[in-house]
Each structure stands twice: as C-alpha cells, then as structure tokens.
Structure 1
Amino acid sequence: MATSKMVKVGAAAGAAYLGWKYLDENHAVGADIELARRLTTMRTEIAGHHKNGYNCTKMWYTTLKKNPKKTMLLYLDEKVTYKQVEERSNQVANWLLSKGLKRGDTVALLMENRPEFIISWLGMTKIGVKVALINTALVKKPLLHCVKISSCSMLFFGTELASSVGEVMPEIEELGIMVFGNGRDACDFCPVADEELAAAAVTRVSSKLTEGIGMSDVFGYIYTSGTTGLPKAAVILHQKMFAFGALMANGFQVKESDVVYTCLPLFHSAGGGLGVNVTIYTGCTMVIKKKFSASEFWKDCVKYKVTVAQYIGELCRYLILNAPTPEERQHRVRIVIGNGMRPEIWGEFQSRFNIPEVGEFYGATEGNGALINHCTTPDAQGACGRLGTLLRKVMGVKLVKFDVVEEEIVRDPKTGFAIECGPNEPGELLFPIKPDDPSTAFAGYEDPAATAKKIAKDIAVKGDQFFRTGDLLSRDEKSFFHFVDRIGDTFRWHGENCSTTEVTEVMAPFPGVQEINVYGVQIPNNLDGRCPMAAITPTGGDINALDFDGLAKHAQANLPKYAVPIFLRIQPEIAVTATMKHQKVALKKEGMDIAQVTDPLYWLNPDSKTYEPFTPEAYQRVINQQARL
C-alpha cells in the first residue's frame, strides 16, 4: 500500500514538473514571475511617491543622508563626493535665484560630459526650475530651434561649446534669453559665471521652493528627433527620472556598492537618465567619460574599478573591432547595460571581454513602457526583452500588425480593432495608457499635435489608448522580443535618430537641388544602423547644376555629423505616391549597391570630406569596412 502511494505521489510530482516545464518553456512563466518580483517594488514605490509629493530633489536628499562623504562622481582624476555635489549644486541654485530665476522657469543646459552638467541640473531642480537638456552635436538652426521651443529664460552652456552658441547668439538675444557660460574655454560674447558661482552660498535653499512639486510634474525636456523634422521636446516628468534609476536598480540589480561607467552623452536618456539617476537612486559611484573611446574603454574600467558599464550597440561593435588589450579581461565589470546590442556580436562580446551578464532594454525617451532582458544565459542573447503570456496579459502590452507601405496599424475589418501578431511576425509595439495607473502615463511633447500622433486608440476595446513606439518588433516562441526596424522616415545611424525631414530642410535650399528624397540604407557588413542617403534631382535634370563640393560643405556645416548623407543618388525625377509622398521602399532596398543602382552615385569620401563619384573601388572600401563612415 505504501509503495503504491509513493508511486502515485511520485507520478503526481513528475506530472507537476512536466507541466511547469511546459509552461515555462512555452509561456515563460518562470521569467514572468521573476520580472514581476523585481518590478513590483518599482511600481509600488511610484504609486506611493505619487501620494506623498516625491520629486527628484527629495530623491537626492534621501540618498545624500546615507553616506555624504562617499565619492559620487569620478571624472579624469577628479573625485567629487555626495557632500560636494550638494554644496556645489546649492551654489548653482543660489546663483540662479540671484539672477531672477524662479519656480516654473526653464533653463536650457548645453554642456559636454563633466560633473558640472549633473551639478547644474540638480541645482536647477532645487528651486523648481525645469531643465531642457540640449544635444551638444546640434548647430545653427536645430540648436536655435531647441533653445526656442523650450521657452527658456536662460541658456547655461559650457564654454567648450562657445563656437556653436556664438553662431546663434544674435537670434538668442532677440528672444530676450539670458546667456551665461561655464568653463575654462574663452568666450567673448557673454558673461562666464564661474567666479559668481564660486562665490555663491553653499547653504541649502528653502524646501518651500519645491513644495507641492510631485511625480506628475515636469522635470524638464529631453529632445528626440521625429518625422516633423527638427528635434521635438519630449516632456520628462519627475516620475520618469525616478523610474530611470529604479529600473536600473530593480531590473538589473545595480546596487549602492557598484561603480557605473558612463561614456554616453548626459543629454540623452541613456547616460543622463538611466546612468545619472541610478547613481542618485542607489547612492553608487558614477564614472563620467567626456566621450566614448574604444582604446580607453577597458583601461578606464580597470582604473576606476568599474562594475557596471553602459553601452549602445555601436559602442560594442567598436570595442570588438579594436585590437585586443590586456585590460579587456582584467576589469571587474559584471554587467553591461544598454540597448542595441546586435545579435551577431552578442556572444562574441560576452566571451571575448569576459562579461557574465548583459542588461539589454528597449524603450523610448518619451515612452511610457519598456522591455528588459537580463541576459545571464546564451538562450537570451540577441533579444531586447522578454514578456511571457502572463505578463503580456497583465501589463497589456501589444504587438500589432503594421502595414509598412501605408504606414498604419492593420485593423480587423469587422471589429475595427488592431490585429495582434503571431510568433516571429513583425509588428508595432504598443504600451497601454491606463487612466488608473500613473506609471503608464504618457506626458508627450511640448507640441500637442506631435503628442496626438503617438497615441493609438481603440486597439483592443473601444476607448482604450496606447503609446505608439514607432518601432517594429517580433516575438519568438520563447517570448523573447527582437527589434526589427523603425517605422517611417526616422532611422538610426551611429546610435542617433536621424530625421529625413530635418536633412531635407537643410539640403533642399542649396542651389542646384530641385528635389531631394532622404532615407536610410543598410550597408553590407556594417552594424551601425541605416546610413543617411539622399536621392537628388538636380535643377533641370542637369547634373552639372550641382556643386558637389559646396553641397558637402553646406551639409557638414549645418547638420549634426550623424545626419550628413554619406551617399547621393542622382535621379532625373523623384518617384512619388498618389498622395505625393516620396517613395522610399525601392530606394531603401537598392541602397548604395552599385550592382543594382543604374543612376549616378556619389559618396562623402572621409579622406577628402567631399562628394565624389562612387566607384567600384570605393564600394569595396566601404563594404570591407576600410572607410571610416
């Protein structure tokens, strides 16, 4: 009898195990439970902070109390403690008050990576001033546009960028904006605030200045390119800045004892959002690098005893292309965290550099949701996130069919609702906007029309709303999500979003350009994204009407480096749709392949920095990665 009972118990246990194994393998139940465990803390914190008026300043003071003497920032050979950041940011706050800045005003911050960047925006938040984080690569019209749409009272910039600011200074003065520099570089067109800042009081400003500012209030703006052409100002709430840090800490287990290496721009959501705020959230140490250097990356990791390093996909590829060094395996890095790690190099990256874990995530600066993939096993390599059946149901995340030609969500003709994708079927990723859940809020942009375009309605039921990511992803049989492509005109190159409209607006007025169609193309053997290319119809169809050298100089002087078209295709006329939209599908498919394109092709030779005929020899240089694009 006992034996029979044991057999039944064993059989039941075996059946339970097999059932669990089936659910785990086919529905990712185990992964869902672990992810839910990690993110529940963050969601609970956000919900609680909405009730008690929490904001970025309070997050700072919560951490400051832990260990004020601890080093917060490492930059070159400079060490800045939490207490020193407190005092120096107080000086910024008191100085701004002396200049008449008040709660609700905006300051545009334009500065390269250095401690003063973080200290400056922290000081601004202490008096309730909103911060517009300006891309340091912008010049002329795009730079002026970003300053203008922020409605800022002051532009505070690093004097290392004085030449860029100087070019638009007359227009900024006409807007009545105060302008102050900070830094050691020469600047002869506006006051440099260093002496005044050094003399300002280090005492903490009154907490009444931020009283009532909560998670749903605006922290500031981070700029993102879109189909409107010029950069859009994405509204960043205090909740978003808190969530940046909480996601890194809870999603990827970053702790107070970690040293985080950031060589990504601090004006972006990766470096300035995730990197800075996980430092403030946990109380860890942050290493600031002015800019990425493949030859110095691992040396820095060894020097500063880095345990967590941030990346974007292209950064990883550059590291792999770099010659081996002893430091690449002598470091203490236990996890790299970022987005865009290419599946083709993922395994090699972890193996060559001895990286146990990868924290890959998917998300948009202005978005209301994210996917994460804490990769600790080979089967997780190549994915940007994982959501099993359970979490997809609970969170309401949708992957819906998308017509790439008409550029619209495919809907069921009977119900009018979106059609969800099956396994391995590309579709647009949508995150729900739930009125009763503040963690799903979408703050949008300063432009209401741009905000409206990012919201999809009546997706699953009448009246629902979803944030449109503008990206195509697919989900495999194990519930791993994989990035496929960006929707529409915006594409990624060198880790930056390139707007075809912005490029068009700069190049179309150039003499000899009758019409221009800008798009992104894939270069064989190149993993940097899609390269900027333009199809141009010269005035009267005469190629001699184009001054290629002048066009190259014009583009490089007026566009960020990553947005300058590398290839030109000269066409007698630009093909358009019935609705007068430029046709890009065929152009993208043919790309810069000289075997497929019969039109004359030109390229921006990196040696001469001008447009020259794209010869078979030049084509081989490009696809063999012998030309640095």
Structure 2
Amino acid sequence: MSTHQHDMITWGMMLRKLPSIARALPRVIKGMQIANVKRADQPCGLGWTFEQATKRNPDGPALLYGDRVLSYAQANQWANRIAHYLASQGIGKGDVVAIFVENRPELLVSVLAVAKLGGICAMLNTAQTGSVLVHSVNLVKPVAMIVGGELLDAYSAIRDQVAIDEARTWFVADPDTAPGPTPAGCIDLMTASADGDSANPSSTGRIYLDDPCFYIYTSGTTGLPKAGIFKHGRWMRTSASFGMIALDMQPADILYCTLPLYHATGLCVCWGSAISGASGFAIRRKFSASRFWEDARRFKATTIGYVGELCRYLIDQPASEHDRDNSVVKMVGNGLRPGVWGAFKQRFGVEHICELYAASDGNIGFTNVLNFDNTVGFSLAPWALVEYAHDTCAPIRNGSGFMQKVARGGQGLLLAKIDDKAPLDGYTEPEKNLKVILTDVFEKGDRYFNTGDLLRDIGFGHAQFIDRLGDTYRWKGENVSTTEVENILLQHPQVAEAVAYGVEVHNTNGRAGMAAITPAESLATLDFTELLQFAREHLPGYAVPLFLRVKVKMETTGTFKYQKTRLKEEAFDPSKTGGDPVFAWLPGSATYVQVTEAVLADICAGRHRY
C-alpha cells in the first residue's frame, strides 16, 4: 500500500472532527456499555441480540434476499422452530454443528437456531472440496451437519471420511432450484421443523460471554485451515462497536452484504451491525459487479459491506449516469486501498467509509469511527508496532531482550496486548495458540498476540494497514496459505519442488499467487495445460497460482528454508529471474503462457483484468 505523508493525521484535522465527535459521544458511551459485558452470568450473544432487535422492530425487515423479505418476527420465529426441533434431536450447549450452506436466508436462520441453543456453528468455507473439506470438518468434531442442496455433491464426495450420523445430517433444499426429493441419508431440516414451537427457547437466556458461538476458519501456516474460536462476548463487542458506535445503525437502515457469510466480516461485522440497529440485512448468493448497484437500489440499502477487491471491481465497471442514484451513505469492511478510496467516495456518493482491521483469530479490532481517509481507525485495546526482521518476519529483541516500538509515521509488526479486557479466544488446537503468543515483550510477564500483519502509525492512535507478513497472503478477499498451495502442487507427478508466495500485480488488491517449481524431469516435459487443470481441480479458485517460475534448482538458506523474500522481489519479471522462465495464467485462458516483455507490459498496464 503506497502511503503519502498527507495520510498523517494532524491537530487541525482532529479539531475539525470535534463537532462530529460531540454528536457521537452519547452513542459511543452506550455502545461501549453494551459491547463490554462485565458479568459472567449476564445473558448475551447472537440469539439474545436478535431477540432484542425483534422486540424493538418486530415488523421491520430483518432478512432480504431476491424478492423475499422476512420481518424480524418472522425470522425469529423460523429460527425458534428450528431450534426447538434441533433440541428435540439432542443438540444443546457446546455441541458443534457444521454449517455448509451458501449465502441465503436458510443459512442465517439455521445459524441463529444453533446459537440460541448454545451450540457452536462451524462455518465451513463453501469453496472447499476434497481433503481440505475433510480436514475442516474433522478438526472440530461436529455432532451434526447442515448442508445446502447446492453443496450436496461436495459433501457427498467426502461423506464416508467424516463421522457424522445420518440421523443428524440435515439437508436444506435450495429454493433457487427446482425442488427434488430429499437425498438419501439426509433429513430435510425445514420440513422436519415446520410444525415446531415458534416461541423463544429458554436456552437463549443461559448463554454467556465465554460461550463459543462460531468456529471461523483461517488459513493455517501448516497448509490446512485452523478453526478460530469466536465467543458470544466477542459477538457483543463486534456488533455494538460497528453497528452502534461506528455506523449508528437504525431500524430504517438496510445493510447490503455480498461477502461470504462463512467469514467474520460478513457474518459478524455486517450481520452483527444490522442486528445491533434492528436494521435490515440484504444478502446475495454471490457478488456480482454488474448487478451490485441495481440490487442496492432495489433493497434501498443505506449501508454496504465490502472488501477492497469488491470496491475495485465496482470502480472498474463502466461509468454510468446512475452511479450516484443510490441511498448508500456508509460502508463497512476492510482492505480498501488508498488508490481506490477517494475515487469510490466521489463516484458513488458514499459519505462514510468505516474501514476496519480485525483478525478473526485475534483479540484486537480497529475501526475508522471518525471517517478519516486511508485508515483502519483506532482501537481501544492496547497495541504496539514493533521492529521486525524482514527475512524471518519475526519481531526483533534489543540488547535488553525486549522489543522495539517503531516511531510515529513508521511501519511495524502489529502486536496486541492480551489481558482481561482483550482476552485471546484463540484456536481449537492449543498448540496453535503458543505460536502466536509473545511474552516479555516490553516488560517481564506481559503477553501479546502476534497478528503477523504490518501496519503504519499515522498519529492520534490511528493506523494504516500495509500488508500481511509470513506464509499467508490475501487475494480476492481470501487468505491463501502458501503451504496448502505447495502441498497440492507437490502431489503432481511432474513437480519435484514447489515454493508458493504472493506477488503484487499493478492495480489489483492483495497479492496474486505465484509458485516457483522445479520439474521432476525437465522443462520440456511440463504440460502447462494439464498442470493448470490439476491446480484448479484441487485448490479453491482464489488459491490457484497465476504465475509459475520454473527453476532447475531451488536455493535454500543454511537451515533449508526457501528464500521467499528474494523470489517475491523478483516476482514475474523475466529480466530479474536470472534466466528462469516465467509463465502466466492469463484471464480467460486454459493454460500457462510464457511471460515475454510484451506479456509483462500488458500485465503491468492492466490490460488483463485479474
């Protein structure tokens, strides 16, 4: 992210914000009271906040999808019927239910039903298939599975590798396709629960801040997803911080979200914000750049959820006289680059960009409450940016054994203090927690969460996101594990060694996937069409490498680690790769082609739309 000195926040800029700070103060104080649940026996969480919203706005729209509109009362009663049915099947507090359904109302009411019982929803990534899906399911040992008709083929293919009872394999028909018979070995959840009790289950009142609500998967550096624990107390902090404090959501607001609801930005930030304001939540199965504003107008959206890539796709659409013909005044999300920020506000008439930073597996969140440009805002939790080693990405300790903070305006590795106010919920696998917790950081006995992210301090407690460090990079709004990509490529008979990494492509967000590979025999024996087909069959679309560098021999460090830093710097420019040929998968093609100077010029000029 290129940053200019003018992104630094000055006293003058702060003073100009004083009137809006004064107006926001009452809701900030109220929001903080709701966000910080103090008592361990105080009812809270997803089910509780939804029931509160239903009392506040029973007839207002809760869920909007296509032509369907469900009021808060209708959505709440539907979730209650499912909850009573699931309870009759033995689902209760602490039980893990795997959820494998695409964005549609059935997904959200099923999640709400499980949450009302104190069950834990394992939010499976709907792009996963095969061995990665098997790993994600078995990792959390679910007692039940809720699978959408649209994903039945992916689940059926792995069903004999996961130990879930047929009696607890619930099927949710896809209303967007012609209804067929319930598949063998499944029970139709909506039919089975149709005659259930529609009153709020008493269990909602017995769910507390430390009870887990979701398992949300993040890319593991070991190559397979990790399951981060998201507790009901954190739901309270997320929904109130964004919905009340940052966005001031009200019953008249509609938040339109096309982000996948298995990620925390869509599920917790966007839906949580809507519930916090008893506002409408409009969703779409999959993001469409050409239909986005048409949908926003139809739903009368006042607020949109985004990731940076989504905004760039919208900016890339041909300009239209209807661009400002929308009621959107605020947006919440993450990853918006400075190059797009101003242009987006100007073109579509959006007043407030509530950019956020939060790791779904971490204990800190930043929010751009004051509506400055090009910042993730500030965090009330204690944090620090420290010096780090560029080759290992590890924080550096000084002669006294402590870490060094970077100067204002400098960029460093973000560490978040772990204490009672900012606990670390962590992962389902305890050994994974040890890797991200640092001790004796600035004084003996202190503990910090290592986010693995690079941020810049731009003054007045505000920060700017720069990049992810280490073995994960972001592309298409998804975190890609380099180890997962490497493991898949190494399964191909023609590949002897593989090193995956992310590289910057001009005018795109995040980093595109690239892999350096050593052929098992020779360059001449590589079948690039077949290799691409193999990668596309075994990896989610966003993780398939766009570039390949073919090396006769892979350089390693003294400890046999691959020299990724140099590979990243040389990227896909053949003039820098010392004679190693580079190949690219160009959009719309079915093979990798060699990168010549002409192909490189086309990529750098943005003639290929990634």
TM-score, with length taken from structure 2 = 0.92
Sequence identity percentage: 33
The match for 2:441 is: 459
Could you say if the C-alpha distance between residues 32 and 476 of structure 1 is closer, same or farther in structure 2, counting changes exceeding 3 Å? farther
The match for 2:377 is: 385
Q: Report how far residue 146 of structure 1 moved.
A: 0.9
| Secondary structure of 1:239's aligned partner | helix
Q: Report whether the alignment pairs 1:473 with 2:455.
A: yes
Q: Report how far residue 298 of structure 1 moved.
A: 1.3
**1:62-81 paired onto structure 2 within 5 Å:** 62-81=52-71
| Secondary structure of 2:310's aligned partner | helix
Q: Report whether the alignment pairs 1:171 with 2:161.
A: yes
CA–CA distance in structure 1, aligned partners of residues 165 and 549 of structure 2: 40
Could you say if the C-alpha distance between residues 28 and 534 of structure 1 is closer, same or farther in structure 2, counting changes exceeding 3 Å? farther
| Secondary structure of 1:407's aligned partner | coil
The match for 1:495 is: 477
The match for 1:233 is: 227
**1:563-574 paired onto structure 2 within 5 Å:** 563-574=543-554
| Secondary structure of 1:287's aligned partner | strand
Q: What are the superposed Cα offsets for residues 286-311 of structure 1, whole Å, 9 maximum, x if unpaired? A: 11111211111111121111111111
Q: Report whether the alignment pairs 1:259 with 2:254.
A: yes
Could you say if the C-alpha distance between residues 454 and 347 of structure 1 is closer, same or farther in structure 2, counting changes exceeding 3 Å? same
| Secondary structure of 2:368's aligned partner | strand
The match for 1:303 is: 298
CA–CA distance in structure 1, aligned partners of residues 15 and 494 of structure 2: 58
| Secondary structure of 2:97's aligned partner | strand
| Secondary structure of 1:326's aligned partner | coil
Q: Which residue identity is paired with 2:445?
A: G
Q: Report how far residue 55 of structure 1 moved.
A: 3.0
Q: Match for 2:124 among 126, 134, 139?
A: 134
Q: Report how far residue 71 of structure 1 moved.
A: 1.4
Could you say if the C-alpha distance between residues 333 and 180 of structure 1 is closer, same or farther in structure 2, counting changes exceeding 3 Å? same
Q: Match for 1:620 among 601, 604, 607?
A: 601
Structure 1 range deviating more: 181-190 or 349-358: 181-190
Q: Which residue identity is paired with 1:65?
A: K
Q: Report whether the alignment pairs 1:242 with 2:227.
A: no
CA contact (8 A) 1:180 1:190 kept: no
CA contact (8 A) 2:549 2:581 kept: yes
The match for 1:143 is: 133
The match for 1:17 is: none
The match for 1:290 is: 285
In structure 1, stretches of 5+ residues that fail to align are: 1-20
The match for 2:385 is: 399
**1:56-455 paired onto structure 2 within 5 Å:** 56-173=46-163, 178-184=168-174, 188-194=183-189, 196-197=191-192, 199-204=194-199, 206-207=201-202, 209-210=203-204, 212-248=206-242, 249-374=244-369, 376=371, 380-386=372-378, 395-414=381-400, 416-435=401-420, 437=421, 440-455=422-437
Question: Which has the higher Rg, Structure 1 or Structure 2?
Answer: 1
CA–CA distance in structure 1, aligned partners of residues 308 and 263 of structure 2: 15
In structure 2, stretches of 5+ residues that fail to align are: 1-8
Q: Report how far residue 147 of structure 1 moved.
A: 0.9
CA–CA distance in structure 1, aligned partners of residues 32 and 508 of structure 2: 35
CA contact (8 A) 1:402 1:410 kept: yes
The match for 2:5 is: none
The match for 1:9 is: none
Q: Which residue identity is paired with 1:328?
A: D
CA–CA distance in structure 1, aligned partners of residues 154 and 287 of structure 2: 21
| Secondary structure of 1:359's aligned partner | strand
Q: What are the superposed Cα offsets for residues 148-202 of structure 1, whole Å, 9 maximum, x if unpaired? A: 1121011111111122112212212588894222113557453251563353313
Could you say if the C-alpha distance between residues 443 and 193 of structure 1 is closer, same or farther in structure 2, counting changes exceeding 3 Å? same
CA contact (8 A) 1:371 1:386 kept: yes
The match for 2:529 is: 549
| Secondary structure of 1:498's aligned partner | strand
Structure 1 range deviating more: 160-169 or 54-63: 54-63
Q: Which residue identity is paired with 1:219?
A: C
CA–CA distance in structure 1, aligned partners of residues 395 and 165 of structure 2: 41
**1:530-549 paired onto structure 2 within 5 Å:** 530-540=511-521, 542-549=522-529
Could you say if the C-alpha distance between residues 466 and 216 of structure 1 is closer, same or farther in structure 2, counting changes exceeding 3 Å? same
| Secondary structure of 1:505's aligned partner | helix
Q: Which residue identity is paired with 1:527?
A: T
Could you say if the C-alpha distance between residues 190 and 623 of structure 1 is closer, same or farther in structure 2, counting changes exceeding 3 Å? farther
| Secondary structure of 2:322's aligned partner | helix
CA contact (8 A) 2:83 2:201 kept: no
The match for 1:607 is: 588
CA contact (8 A) 1:108 1:155 kept: yes
Q: Report how far residue 385 of structure 1 moved.
A: 1.7
The match for 2:498 is: 516
CA–CA distance in structure 2, aligned partners of residues 26 and 288 of structure 1: 36
CA contact (8 A) 1:26 1:477 kept: no
Q: Report how far residue 612 of structure 1 moved.
A: 2.8
Q: What are the superposed Cα offsets for residues 586-607 of structure 1, whole Å, 9 maximum, x if unpaired? A: 1101111123222111222333
CA–CA distance in structure 1, aligned partners of residues 377 and 44 of structure 2: 29
TM-score, with length taken from structure 1 = 0.89
Q: Report how far residue 142 of structure 1 moved.
A: 1.2
Could you say if the C-alpha distance between residues 36 and 67 of structure 1 is closer, same or farther in structure 2, counting changes exceeding 3 Å? closer
Could you say if the C-alpha distance between residues 420 and 177 of structure 1 is closer, same or farther in structure 2, counting changes exceeding 3 Å? farther
Count of residues in correspondence between the two structures? 593
Q: What are the superposed Cα offsets for residues 432-480 of structure 1, whole Å, 9 maximum, x if unpaired? A: 1113x2xx11100011111111211111221111121110111135654
Q: What are the superposed Cα offsets for residues 562-621 of structure 1, whole Å, 9 maximum, x if unpaired? A: 000111100011111111111111110111112322211122233332223233343333
CA–CA distance in structure 2, aligned partners of residues 178 and 194 of structure 1: 10
CA–CA distance in structure 2, aligned partners of residues 504 and 149 of structure 1: 21
Structure 1 range deviating more: 209-218 or 274-283: 209-218
Structure 1 range deviating more: 478-487 or 81-90: 478-487
CA contact (8 A) 1:400 1:421 kept: yes
The match for 2:464 is: 482
CA–CA distance in structure 1, aligned partners of residues 146 and 41 of structure 2: 33
Q: What are the superposed Cα offsets for residues 209-244 of structure 1, whole Å, 9 maximum, x if unpaired? A: 355430111112011113121111000100122222
Structure 1 range deviating more: 496-505 or 613-622: 613-622
CA contact (8 A) 2:258 2:287 kept: yes
Q: Report whether the alignment pairs 1:507 with 2:493.
A: no
CA contact (8 A) 2:100 2:123 kept: yes
The match for 1:8 is: none
Could you say if the C-alpha distance between residues 502 and 59 of structure 1 is closer, same or farther in structure 2, counting changes exceeding 3 Å? same
Could you say if the C-alpha distance between residues 365 and 426 of structure 1 is closer, same or farther in structure 2, counting changes exceeding 3 Å? same
